[in-house]
Amino acid sequence: MEDRRKFGRLDATLPLRYGLLPSGEALQGTSKELGGGGLRLVTQQHVQPESRIWIELQLPGRPMPVTFIAEVVWSEQFDLKALRPVELGVRFVDISPADRDAIMQHVSGPGAS
C-alpha cells in the first residue's frame, strides 16, 4: 500500500480533548502519532469516518493547547467485547498557521524521527 502522507509523523502520546461537531460534549483521548497533516487519536468512543470533530491538543512546554477542526479518515475498534480503545485517523481541516507551526516544531524537534 502506498503511503500518501505529505508530512512526517512522530510517535507522540499527548493528552487531548475532542467532540463531534457541531456541538458534541468534550471527551478525553490521547494522540498516538502526530504529523503536520493530522494525528492518530486513541479513545473509548467510536466515531464514523467523514465525521468532523474539534480537538484541543496539549503540546509539552506550551501553556495553551493547539485547537483545530479535523475530519475522521478511518476508525478501527480492536475488540468490541473487550472494550478496548478505538483508534481514529484524523486529518486537519481547519487549523491556524500558528497552531500548525507549533505542531510542526514539535514533530521536527529533538527526538523526532
- Residue 109's pLDDT is what? 74
Please tell me the total count of domains within the chain.
1
Q: CA 47, CA 30: separation in Å to the nearest integer?
A: 15
Q: Interior CA angle at 3 toward 107 and 39, to 5°?
A: 40
pLDDT at residue 66 greater than cutoff 80: yes
Average of per-residue pLDDT values in the chain: 85
The CATH number for 22's domain is 2.40.10.220
For the cut 60, the answer to whether the pLDDT of residue 1 exceeds it is no
Question: Is 83 a residue whose pLDDT tops 70?
Answer: no
Specify if 1 maps to a domain. no
The pLDDT value given to residue 45: 86
**Among 49, 52, 46, 41, which residue's Cα sits nearest to residue 17?**
41
Domain that holds residue 33: 9-108
Query: Does the pLDDT at position 3 exceed 50?
Result: no
Given a cut of 50, is residue 98 above it in pLDDT? yes
Closest CA to 56 of 36, 85, 27: 27
Residue 2 inside a domain? The answer is no
5's grid cell:
502522507
